[in-house]
Amino acid sequence: MKESKYVTIYKEWKEKIESGQIAEGERLPTESSLMESYQVSRDTVRKSLNLLEQNGYIQRGRGRASLVMPKQRYTFPLSEIASFQEVNKLSNAHAETEVVNLDILQDSHKIKKIFQQSVNGEVYELIRVRRMKDEAVILDKDYFVRDVVPRLPLNECKVSVYRYLEEELGLQISYAVKEITVQKANAEDYELLDMGDYNMVVVVKSHTYLENNTLFQCTESRHRPDKFRFVDLAKRKL
Amino acid sequence: MKESKYVTIYKEWKEKIESGQIAEGERLPTESSLMESYQVSRDTVRKSLNLLEQNGYIQRGRGRASLVMPKQRYTFPLSEIASFQEVNKLSNAHAETEVVNLDILQDSHKIKKIFQQSVNGEVYELIRVRRMKDEAVILDKDYFVRDVVPRLPLNECKVSVYRYLEEELGLQISYAVKEITVQKANAEDYELLDMGDYNMVVVVKSHTYLENNTLFQCTESRHRPDKFRFVDLAKRKL
DNA sequence: CAGTGGTCTAGACCACATT
DNA sequence: ATGTGGTCTAGACCACTGT
């Protein structure tokens, strides 16, 4: 499946903006000049600009060329489906991952409780601890449906599970529903994390769905409060 | 300025989905039948469907009609620019608002510190406490640039400031940048909120911008941890 | 005023889902 | 095989921005 023209154009300008080739506050070329340079129709150009706008890179308006937004406004560590590796890259913080446990769960009652809905077959349980500067600050508990992920090599868990799922298994991840709450730390948190003085954790629960709308993963990510930060760009809803 | 056709169609179907006239898991009419019933071009129909998809109401895919998503996935209490009143309505919880203080700040140094950037002129400072079931659980500190909001009637603060800004002043709110962190509670939190056993608060800081890209408001919303919940729909980024 | 983006139309081809 | 949505094109009119 070839990449669409408008995605190509989008990526090109996204890159230019991210790399700072176009300073914030600068204007993009007009739609007509973009049509000219790429030899495409206006609709195609506008689709690219739509993507740039939706992802917070530019702001558009009648009668004026698109404006490049300040960088801060499009670096969302968590509002997209981002794995720890990606967040890590953005924050420049050296971090390490330790696999605590990799197991297979068969008790359908227990599985249903974790996923908060019934799931066919077995699931992998992957528990990992994330370390920053030698402090254990994040506890990740991932659960994968084995009907979709039949094998989960241990060495892939140490790097990026998402990379393995998308590139090796060819899974098309579509969207995830995430919920953030703050809870009292439990025994497991105290055992596996360096909690220091803190007695609470930030809990990010997420359910991840494929293109064909099937639930295939859920995650519970428990953060020490000082190591948690979420940035979001909220647009006025129609 | 008349409302566009595609926005009208979008709102109509959004309403149908929210009210449950179309059950989750059901399919929408096909694009061609929508063109037929509204007597519009395909592009117009597709713009409406784009909006529905972006806001998490439907899921689309090649070769099949759009699918209505489960309700849970589009009730985001905080991922849009939602005022307390709107969130309140969704959560069915009876809540009250008490205005603690309404003041005008003139010290440009102090203002700059609050906004984290320089701002022209004076700003309103509005401090409110939100009560649920007679417990003070949220502390809201709003700051409005007086160049944009010259007057801020006290009685409007008790209801919805956003309603006043949009309907009375005709301001076009465009987007907001929000940041969520968890911090130790300070003296003010203990004084104004019923903190109970808790010693931390969830801090939501947001900067709100108008259509013309000017910063006109910033807010610091401090929540007791048990009364904080954030739900988000994350799409795979291109 | 000219230029720009916002909306709308009509028609075309393709890839994929369903049957 | 048919129908569906995904992409692309070409042309049109209007509302707003900037000068």
Domains of chain B, with CATH numbers? 5-74 (1.10.10.10), 84-227 (3.40.1410.10)
* Distance from C-alpha of A181 to C-alpha of A204, rounded to nearest angstrom: 7
Q: What confidence tens digit (pLDDT) does each residue in A92-137 have? A: 556 788 999 999 999 999 999 999 888 888 999 999 998 888 899 9
Contact B211 A61 (CB under 8 A): yes
pLDDT at position B77, please? 46
> Cβ-count burial of A217 within 10 angstroms (0-12 exposed, 13-18 middle, 19+ buried)?
buried
A180-192 burial by CB neighbour count: b if 16+ within 10 A, else e?
bbbeebeeebeeb
- Residue–nucleotide distance: B2 CA to C8 C1' (Å): 14
pLDDT of residue A44: 95
Q: What is the C-alpha to C-alpha distance for residues A225 and B95, in angstroms, rounded to an integer?
A: 27
Q: What percent of chain A has pLDDT over 90?
A: 46
- A5 has pLDDT over 90: yes
B51 contacts in A (CB within 8 Å)? 238
β B58-61/B64-68 pair status: antiparallel
CA distance A106 to B191: 50
What confidence score (pLDDT) does residue A198 get? 96
Å: A118 CA to D15 C1': 53
How much is the mean pLDDT over chain B?
A: 85
Taking an 8 Å cut-off on Cβ atoms, the answer to whether B174 and A235 are in contact is yes
Give the pLDDT score at A80: 44
Residues of chain B with pLDDT under 70: 1, 72-94, 237-238
pLDDT digits (tens, 9 = 90+) for A47-90: 999 999 988 899 998 888 999 987 665 544 444 444 455 555 55
Strand D neighbours among B 20-49, CB < 7 A: 28, 30-33, 42-43, 46, 49
- Average pLDDT score over chain A: 85
CA of residue A88 to C1' of nucleotide D13, angstroms: 49
> Sign of the C-alpha dihedral, residues B88, B91, B96, B101?
negative
Q: Which of B141, B46, B42 lies closest to B84, judged by CA?
A: B141
pLDDT of res. A82:
46
| Mutate: best of A75, A219, A232, A233, partner B, most B CBs <10 A | A232
Q: Which residues touch strand C (CB under 7 A)?
A: A 1, 28, 30-33, 42-43, 46, 49, 60-66; B 4-7, 39-44, 47, 61-64
